[in-house]
Structure 1
């Protein structure tokens, strides 16, 4: 694969490597990490992706002026410098076409770009989400102020040309920050959500909802989770850091009950809606910090047969792990996008009486150095 800006962008550091080499590198990196931390676990071969291009279903686009014209692209590594890109190999073709058209409209409408150095201007970013199976598209214009000249014309032109666009929003972020969207977005067109089909279920999401970046690999990850858990239909499952309920709801047909926990109230509302629209009646969702929930569960002696955690890149907390182990679940399934924080947390689980002899890898991010990990922990002597 050839990309004219790959050396400038830094978004795909493994792009020039044969795909099998990429997978071997990722496996070796995790093996060395385990060895350095004295964890004797087998690292199974990485589950590679069939689609290694055009897979990203969420894109954050930056804009800049070049020779008087507005250009768009991703940011150079460790910077806020936009690298002009007309056709990113990792974006679905439809998304590339929408980005290009937005860029052209911004230029023709003379919409002012935000200047980080001076704090002046309007447009900061555009966020695009793409539902692979339904082809629905969500767009967010992130602006430094609420006044947005020509936004009605811009919305009308985009919707007319791309019927796949189901909703367009605006999010105002006036702060000097690297966080893209700080405040709730308001709707310019549509209902503010899109729906995708995953593992045979429909999942509705907003701009901020967590949803794995590679649809097909996410399905393979969840299928592997089901296989590893080997549920009998009688288990009570606790799905922490549950987001919009994707993991728990895909397991609901094989267990007695699923309880999902997530700190974001909007995500919990969507998880409940996703359960309803899929006619799943054995799932409940709680809006609470996952560590706080585990502490309360420990205090009130609640019991769960299976615990699932898929925390952010920073991993979970020691208090979460201690509380989780005190509930004595038969199985703990840990999914992580950062092997380093996973290994840190595994050490604590091991110290508290849980074990695992192997670790599985799923390549959620082809052409990058990142890899998704999944580990099944079981109580010693259980």
Structure 2
């Protein structure tokens, strides 16, 4: 197994800035950065060693590529250079599964041979903007989404048939129409060209079905490690009522369901809740229900009604949660609060607020969900300590006392892969029989 490598495109595409650094050193660097954050916060928390990935390459189960032409007018595809519309040829990317790389190369070849017009963001002309590929590691199922500037898609039928013939792993193909001048890849109108519009993956004991925009952790193996650590740290006994906030398509709550009495999942995106309910049915799990509501509003209302949950789980976007959420969650006096984060900076900021309400943790666990990048996933379990307000502690650094409005306010930046977490929207497809 390789633990580091040289990539000639690493500095150009910016997708894996640490790829040339030995993997153990990457983990040590990330742990040190989190330890510095904890020290500056004044919290007395032990930062556990990073749980490293067994395979730091080929793990990305979601890839979005753009298209361009070289000087010889030959079509190539790849990731975009940071903060630009410039496509870098990243054929054979080491971060992507082999099957995904083969499909991308085949699509690129077909786009050229079928003379499909490539979208030009400068002039707003052309057709094909992006291709999104999602992969279920355990099921070997592949989803392909063509993002086009308009609905009319010449050669669509031939393209779909050619892909189905060459790659039986492709179980669904879609066309998303995006006519807007925006960096957001997917828009609301999607045509179903082949299959069901979703693919499935097996995450330990549960099946997870997800659509093009649904949130699903980008590293299958490390996601399973994270969820197993979370479950073990809670020590559930099949008697607990669990509240899973910011639940997205329900993966964490579904993973916990067999170990507790009941689960309530809360997510603001109504389409994500539809996906979550489908996943509950898919796994024949009947002790879980999902509510389409903003997590902070749900928590504030729950505190007013004096609802009780033994365990509260939150896995918010990189911006963290809100003071109102924290105050209301603590008012319910749960036995434990599990906080999973993709940004240790905002998580530690929130832990300071939890402490004001008597909920503390003594250790922070780190899971390297994103090898060869600067991202890290962290989790901790908080419990109520009635004596915490009497304890003396170091005053936190300034960046933790003011809630930042952007990442520019952070002294140490963890640029999360979950910049918009839990969108999880199963598309409302229009069938198009090619």
How big is the shift at 1:13?
A: 0.8
Partners of 2:37 and 2:115 lie apart in 1 by 50
1:305 corresponds to 2:321: no
1:255 corresponds to 2:260: yes
How big is the shift at 1:55?
A: 0.4
Q: How does 1:273-292 map to 2 (within 5 A)?
A: 273-292=278-297
Task: Answer with 309-318 or 92-101: which moved more.
Answer: 309-318
Of the candidates 30, 34, 53, which is equivalent to residue 30 of structure 1?
34
Of the candidates 88, 102, 105, which is equivalent to residue 100 of structure 1?
105
How big is the shift at 1:111?
A: 1.2
Q: TM-score, with normalisation over the residues of structure 1?
A: 0.98
Match of residue 383 from structure 2:
378
How big is the shift at 1:358?
A: 0.8
Partners of 2:257 and 2:189 lie apart in 1 by 31
Partners of 1:298 and 1:123 lie apart in 2 by 49
Of the candidates 215, 221, 225, which is equivalent to residue 226 of structure 2?
221
1:203 corresponds to 2:212: no
Match of residue 193 from structure 1:
198
1:136 corresponds to 2:121: no
How big is the shift at 1:299?
A: 2.1
1:54 corresponds to 2:51: no
Task: Answer with 238-247 or 267-276: which moved more.
Answer: 267-276
Partners of 1:337 and 1:106 lie apart in 2 by 36
How big is the shift at 1:8?
A: 1.2
Q: How does 1:119-198 map to 2 (within 5 A)?
A: 119-198=124-203
Q: Check conservation: 2:358, 2:386, Cα contact below 8 A.
A: no
Of the candidates 228, 231, 237, which is equivalent to residue 232 of structure 1?
237
How big is the shift at 1:208?
A: 0.9
Q: How does 1:325-336 map to 2 (within 5 A)?
A: 325-336=330-341
Match of residue 405 from structure 2:
none
How big is the shift at 1:183?
A: 1.4
Cα shift readout 1:232-273 (whole Å, capped 9, x = no counterpart): 111100001111111111111110000011112222112112
Partners of 2:44 and 2:179 lie apart in 1 by 49
Q: Check conservation: 2:7, 2:20, Cα contact below 8 A.
A: no
Cα shift readout 1:270-319 (whole Å, capped 9, x = no counterpart): 21121112121111111111112112212222111100011111211222
Cα shift readout 1:131-170 (whole Å, capped 9, x = no counterpart): 0000000111111111111111111110111000010111
- CA distance 1:291–1:98, shift in 2 (3 Å): same
How big is the shift at 1:78?
A: 2.6
5+ long unaligned stretches in structure 2: 388-434
Partners of 2:128 and 2:356 lie apart in 1 by 50
Match of residue 74 from structure 1:
79
How big is the shift at 1:328?
A: 1.3
Partners of 2:166 and 2:21 lie apart in 1 by 37
Partners of 2:65 and 2:148 lie apart in 1 by 13
Task: Answer with 230-239 or 286-295: which moved more.
Answer: 286-295
SS at match of 2:188: coil
How many corresponding residue pairs? 382
Instruction: Please identify runs of 4+ aligned residues in structure 1 that moved more than 4 A.
Output: none
Match of residue 411 from structure 2:
none
Match of residue 412 from structure 2:
none
Match of residue 12 from structure 1:
16
Match of residue 320 from structure 1:
325
5+ long unaligned stretches in structure 1: none
Superposition CA RMSD, Å: 1.2
Q: TM-score, with normalisation over the residues of structure 2?
A: 0.86
Cα shift readout 1:172-225 (whole Å, capped 9, x = no counterpart): 111111111121422111110001100111111101111111101011000100
1:44 corresponds to 2:48: yes
Match of residue 365 from structure 1:
370
Q: Check conservation: 2:132, 2:144, Cα contact below 8 A.
A: yes
